[in-house]
Amino acid sequence: MKKIYTTPQTPVVSDFKNSCSPYGLPFIKTLSLVSVAVFLSNASPVSACDVWGNVDTYFGGGTNVRKSIAPTYIIDGHVYRDVGSAFSGVGNAFDRWKSQVNTKIDSKFDKFNSDWKNQVNNINSKFSSIDHHLNAIISKMKGTSFDQIVQFNNQGLITVGANLSGAFGIDFSDKNGNGRFILGVRDAVISPNSNLAVNGSQLYNLGKVISQSFGGGADYNLGNWKSPTFTIKAFDQNGNQRQENYSTVADAFTGVNNSVENLNKAIKNVVSNAAGDTLVKQNDAGLITIGGSKDGDRIDITNNMRGPRVLSGIRGGAITKTSTDAINGSQIDFISQVFASYLGGGAGYNVDGKWSGPTFTIISFDQNGNEIEDQYRDVASAFAGVKNSFRKLNEKIENVVINGTGDALVKQDTAGLITIGGKVSGTKVNIANIDNATRILSGVRAGSITATSTDAINGAQLYSISNAVAGYFGGGASYRDGAWNAPTFTVKVFDKNGNGAEKDYSTVAEAFT
């Protein structure tokens, strides 16, 4: 600020007051406080840093808005720390000058008249220049004050343009259009909703993490990104291997896809168009043959640890006398369920695929003719139990016929029906002889075979049933002359090395095991 010094000897004319009247102190104080800040902010979008720097320059007096350092003005030997007080000091100085001027006006007027007029003209010129700048400031700011642009609340939060409308942005470039650094930016929260500024160290760490995730020599250092190099084993259409380098993930995956496609074509070419000694071939009709041009009678599909493999995708083969087709699990299950239904007695495959043998419960008789239940785990034993029961029953019947007295035991009505023991209590009939030897009960008509039947079954019926069951068993099973010939099941088994051998079993359970 320009300083004006006066002394008691300074000549002053009365028209100084009149010359300054358009810029009276109240007007100057009010207009300057608003207009100076307005002028410093500029009407165009400028950065907060530009505003602060311009404010510092135009306020002068050691002002530093960013460091909260107020200006210092020295007027007529007095120190003022703000513009308002400074203009008040100017007013006070004018009052003092006026008093001094009034005391000296008469004696000094002529001497300093010429100099004073020059000073007044100079002052008028300066104030005209100031007025011009103030009008420009007012025009640019359009009613905006400095406090509306930059604010500092009690919690220490500094806001820029919070009370102003517009979303164009904030320009931090200098008067020449050069960019500026924004320093002291704290680590921001990085989240989907964050609008905080991110500092350089955060960007550096993010770049490092991304480069480590890429691998392939990728790096981020000093703001520079080093692209990765991905080395991929590639295959051409003939299956030849080579290495190719890619600088992007997309290109690398494209290379992998091309290699897989080429490799798949090469494999398909081997399988579909095999020639010479190739073991697996497929003809034009789609038939795949394995080892069709080689000798040998076995195919081993065990793995490198000699462990067995599951052979899947087997279509149901033909089940005929001359068939060599593979049989799948569903076919075995169907046959087993049918066979189990013929056997009854709870026979069948459980949910784990294991065979559960039948249990046949046969009503038999002890030596005293008491009824008991015997259980058998195979058909042959069950029929043997039935035979034994018939024998005991036959002995009881014979005993009744021979040792019966009167008409209480054996009777025949007019229709020809013979009843034995119909008039006496008891639950057994013994037809054994005096030596307790068994007898044959002949002339027995074929009895009814139903769930509720109590008819005796004759030999012909038993023979028919036995031979029917024997037919189901196969393996040479038969029932002849009252004797059951157990079946012999010849099964080809394989050891863990795939070696095959034939083995005979006499029961269904053992054969399936």
In this predicted structure, what is the pLDDT of residue 25?
Answer: 43
pLDDT higher than threshold 70 for residue 461: yes
For residue 101, what are the contacts with CB-CB under 8 A and spacing of at least 6? Answer: 10, 11, 12, 13, 14, 16
pLDDT, tens digit, for every residue of 11-48? 443 443 443 444 344 434 433 444 444 444 443 444 44
Nearest 5 degrees, angle CA 377-CA 382-CA 386?
160
pLDDT, tens digit, for every residue of 167-199? 667 777 888 989 888 888 888 888 888 888 888
More confident residue, 77 or 371: 371
Pick the closest to residue 119 from 237, 4, 290, 257 (CA basis). Answer: 4
Average pLDDT over residues 129-141: 57
SS3 state of residue 290: strand
SS3 state of residue 289: strand
Q: At residue 401, what is the residue type?
A: V
pLDDT band at 278 (very low <50, low <70, confident <90, very high): low
Is residue 413 within 8 A of residue 503, CB to CB? The reply is no
CA distance 462 to 482: 9
Is residue 313 within 8 A of residue 305, CB to CB? The reply is no
What average pLDDT is seen over the chain?
70
Pick the closest to residue 446 from 435, 461, 462, 433 (CA basis). Answer: 461
In this predicted structure, what is the pLDDT of residue 62?
Answer: 73
H or E segment to which residue 399 belongs? helix 379-403
**Token pair in block for residue 231:** 């080395």
Q: What is the dihedral of CA 312, 318, 319, 321, to 10 degrees?
A: -130
In this predicted structure, what is the pLDDT of residue 1?
Answer: 41
This prediction has a pTM of 0.28
In this predicted structure, what is the pLDDT of residue 474?
Answer: 75
pLDDT higher than threshold 70 for residue 513: no
More confident residue, 485 or 328: 328
Q: Which of 68-77, 330-339, 398-407 has the lowest mean pLDDT?
A: 398-407
For helices 459-473 and 379-403, the axis angle rounded to 10 degrees is: 180
pLDDT higher than threshold 50 for residue 355: yes
In this predicted structure, what is the pLDDT of residue 402?
Answer: 52
In this predicted structure, what is the pLDDT of residue 33?
Answer: 43
**Could you tell me the CA-to-CA distances from 471 to 36, 228, 269, 385, 485 in Å, in that order?**
121, 77, 52, 20, 12
More confident residue, 6 or 137: 137
